[in-house]
Copies of this chain bind each other. A is one copy, B any other.
């Protein structure tokens, strides 16, 4: 592609990115919280119509249970390369918006302020879908689509994609492609574009203990055992004050990183202020207290996180009650080799061995970790076109600290995968006041247009 072609494309992309914003607003207004089963059919219909409106062929797959998976197909134009196909992975579901009282605007009413667009789903993941479609529209208006394009847009990413593996297996032929662009990514606090060639896995557990049929007057606590104290003691036996995970067998399945990977990890940038600033952290990083490298931890260490915990009276003022039950939600981010099933067995054995057989464990969802082959040329094409489109450095991480169903994608489709998206350093995905910057939205759109063009020409 000549420089003048590139310039012409850039103008068309910027115009299309701009035009697409009104549609993005409508998409963001849909409260598609998968954990709470909100507006899923409405959102599926919206996305299907959206793909069709850009010229896509659409199939809504819902025969294997769960929220529908949307397939989209855009054929290469007459001047394009019909032998190359790029697959985009997106999801139309979002995280629950709570705590609601910490939003400065309505979570499901987009609010634009100083070039920053606030709403649940802006960064994760509705913004990324919209800019990909805007890039397609711009390419269509330029020389036509340079290659075939497929979409897999699911609706259960935020609850761990429990049904997606079945769809991937059943429809592997339909989704077949030469490479895949994943759903998320951000610019860091130094304005570097972060690209990911893998993900960590996640196993989400609920632990609970119940010792009475009703809450009890706390004056009886001298004789009646308290499930909240039981759960506290059980949890304290699983991770110590130094943040060491002390569940026997937890680390058994981990594949040791090889020297090539370690070399890449050691070369990655790490900007502490990019973490501490946006979140207003008041404590030192865990890795500082432990004398560890935070890059190693983010790339290579599994975690065990209390995501939520509840027992008894949590309202205003004092209620002198002895709770009947106590519950905790735990998310374990896993590294390659680990499985949720093994961790479940470890938890059950640990609790039984430590005298907590009254504490029940349930594995709510689980996804394995995955890393693409870091030497694949596609990964470096994504990086090169990102640097061109954004006009700033891009960093290719072996994996994200986050999670997604990448392991299953590769099992069924066998293709290189890179993740990139429209976030920025303060996007606050999964938290109140989630946002994207409109400049990143336009640059991300341009990145996709350049990538598709160069991918087709390879």
Of A204, A217, A358, the most chain B CB neighbours within 10 A belong to A217
What per-residue 1/0 map shows which CB atoms of A295-308 lie under 8 Å from chain B?
00110010111111
**Would you list the 8 A-B pairs with minimal beta carbon distance, nearest first?**
A213-B280, A35-B317, A236-B236, A228-B306, A308-B312, A219-B402, A308-B313, A222-B297
Provide the bound-state CA to CA distance between A428 and B220, in Å.
12
Q: Does A125 contact B (CB under 8 A)?
A: no
Chain B residue at smallest Cβ distance from A216: B279
Number of copies: 2
Provide the bound-state CA to CA distance between A298 and B222, in Å.
6
A275 touching B219, Cβ below 8 Å: no
Q: Which of A40-48, A320-328, A446-454 contacts B (4 or more CB under 8 A)?
A: A320-328
What per-residue 1/0 map shows which CB atoms of A114-151 lie under 8 Å from chain B?
00000000000000000000000000000000000000
Question: A130 to nearest B CB, angstroms?
Answer: 21
Question: A163 to nearest B CB, angstroms?
Answer: 14
User: For A214, what are the chain B residues with a Cβ–Cβ distance below 8 Å?
Assistant: 102, 279-280, 428, 431-433
Given contacts A282-B212, A309-B326, contact A35 B241 (CB under 8 A): no
A294 touching B223, Cβ below 8 Å: yes
Q: Does A338 contact B (CB under 8 A)?
A: no
Q: Which of A15-23, A66-74, A284-292, A345-353 contacts B (4 or more CB under 8 A)?
A: A284-292
Provide the bound-state CA to CA distance between A292 and B312, in Å.
26
Q: Does A233 contact B (CB under 8 A)?
A: yes
User: For A324, what are the chain B residues with a Cβ–Cβ distance below 8 Å?
Assistant: 279
Provide the bound-state CA to CA distance between A333 and B305, in Å.
33
Q: Does A419 contact B (CB under 8 A)?
A: no
A297 touching B431, Cβ below 8 Å: no
B303 touching A218, Cβ below 8 Å: yes
Contacting residues of chain A (228-246) with chain B, CB-CB under 8 angstroms: 228-229, 232-233, 235-237, 239-241, 243
Provide the bound-state CA to CA distance between A289 and B223, in Å.
10
User: For A298, what are the chain B residues with a Cβ–Cβ distance below 8 Å?
Assistant: 220, 222-223
Q: Does A283 contact B (CB under 8 A)?
A: yes
User: For A306, what are the chain B residues with a Cβ–Cβ distance below 8 Å?
Assistant: 226, 228-229, 232, 311-312, 323, 326
User: For A204, what are the chain B residues with a Cβ–Cβ distance below 8 Å?
Assistant: 318, 320
User: For A65, what are the chain B residues with a Cβ–Cβ distance below 8 Å?
Assistant: none
Q: Does A257 contact B (CB under 8 A)?
A: no
B311 touching A160, Cβ below 8 Å: no
User: For A202, what are the chain B residues with a Cβ–Cβ distance below 8 Å?
Assistant: 320
User: For A329, what are the chain B residues with a Cβ–Cβ distance below 8 Å?
Assistant: 312-314, 318-319
User: For A235, what are the chain B residues with a Cβ–Cβ distance below 8 Å?
Assistant: 229, 232, 236
A286 touching B323, Cβ below 8 Å: no
Given contacts A212-B280, A222-B333, A321-B308, contact A355 B241 (CB under 8 A): yes
User: For A223, what are the chain B residues with a Cβ–Cβ distance below 8 Å?
Assistant: 275, 285-287, 294, 297-298
Contacting residues of chain A (17-53) with chain B, CB-CB under 8 angstroms: 34-36
Contact of A318 among B226, B311, B313, B364 (CB under 8 A): B364
Provide the bound-state CA to CA distance between A279 and B215, in Å.
8
